[in-house]
Amino acid sequence: MNSLIQRQIAFNLSSSNAWDAFSGHRSQVTSLLKHGWDPSRLCILGAGNCNDLDLTTLIQSHQDIHLVDIDMDALAQGVAKQNLVDHMYVHLHGGIDLTGMIDQMSHWSPNSALTETDIADCLDASTRCLEQIPGPFEVVASTCLLSQLIKIVVDTIGENHPQFVDVIQSIRLGHLRLLLQLMVPDGLGVLITDVVSSDSYLPLASVPDQNLSQVLVQLVRQGNFFHGVNPAAIVNLFRQDPVLSQQVASLEPVGPWRWNFGPRHYAVIAVKFQKR
């Protein structure tokens, strides 16, 4: 197992007991995903510990649920905590790398000379996982995964690498295209992402809910947000990328809301989109 996967597993272990802290965030995520239609199948990418998913509620509105993550143990323990081990309609797909590039990226460093092919691979490899996931689905969600995929690039080549921006743009676009490829026509996609944390904006935990939107706009204006997850840039990408824009019938930004992670708080947004 490469060091990037080990790091992700350690990160998941550090928050595996955060069920109580995640309560408000879990309500937001669950209510965004619970509207299926009969019979609907739900696929969640980055389900990990499942602390942000009330699976018992979700199984009432979906025919079956597919949980996908690189960390199989996190999925297994997350489902066990919600008393859903071996549930007929809850399917675990662990050990799946949703970048398709994690082995290649584990050899990258700030001195790596990346070629055009490497950048193109970051886009194309995101769909390598399709044969391991039994789609398509009526509802597909990505739950605070995008920032983690981009963090791999920060942790390997680093922000000062000349192709840093190209690589994160390819990973982001690949992820959004993957979501659409997993969806049935007319299906619902929900991209949920953390945008900034109290590590870089200390007062985040105490911002009144009604001011959170305004504060987030200011933070984004000041450049205080995680790489690649500027909410406006994501919405623009859905509208302007030739592949995405052809497939997306409607877009609805949701949030922000706050995610109490325990050691820090995050501001989180979602974009709901419907496939043509």
Q: Which of 42, 43, 59, 70 binds ligand SAM (CB under 6 A)?
A: 70
DSSP 247-262: HEEEEEEEEEEEEE-S
Of the candidate spans 32-40, 68-76, 167-175, 263-271, the one that interacts with ligand SAM by CB under 6 A turns out to be: 68-76
Give whichever of 52 and 138 is closer to ligand SAM, judged by the CB atom: 52
Query: Which spans in 55-145 are helix H?
Result: 55-61, 72-81, 102-105, 116-124
193 versus 248: smaller Cβ distance to ligand SAM: 193
C-alpha triplet 228, 233, 238: angle, nearest 5°: 110
Q: Does 48 help bind ligand SAM (rule: CB under 6 A)?
A: yes
98 binds ligand SAM (CB under 6 A): yes
Which of 32, 41, 42, 46 is the binder for ligand SAM (CB under 6 A)? 46
Interface residues for ligand SAM in 171-200 (CB under 6 A)?
A: none
Instruction: Work out whether 49 is an interface residue with ligand SAM (CB under 6 A).
Output: yes
Cα gap 179→189, rounded to integer Å: 7
| First-last CA distance in the chain | 39
- 35-43, 67-75, 109-117, 180-188 -> range binding ligand SAM (CB under 6 A): 67-75
Residue 249: CB minimum distance to ligand SAM, A: 27
Question: What's the CA gap between 47 and 68, in Å, rounded?
Answer: 6
Nearest distance in Å: CB 243, ligand SAM: 21
C-alpha dihedral sign at 159, 162, 163, 169: positive
Closest CB to ligand SAM among 69 and 138? Answer: 69
Quote the tokens at residue 170. Answer: 């390819």
User: What is the per-residue burial (b if ≥16 Cβ within 10 Å, else e) of 113-139?
Assistant: ebeeebeebbbebbebbeeebeebbbb
Residues of the shown chain interacting with ligand SAM in the complex, contacts defined by CB under 6 A:
8, 12, 15, 46-52, 69-71, 74, 96-99, 102, 143-145, 148-149
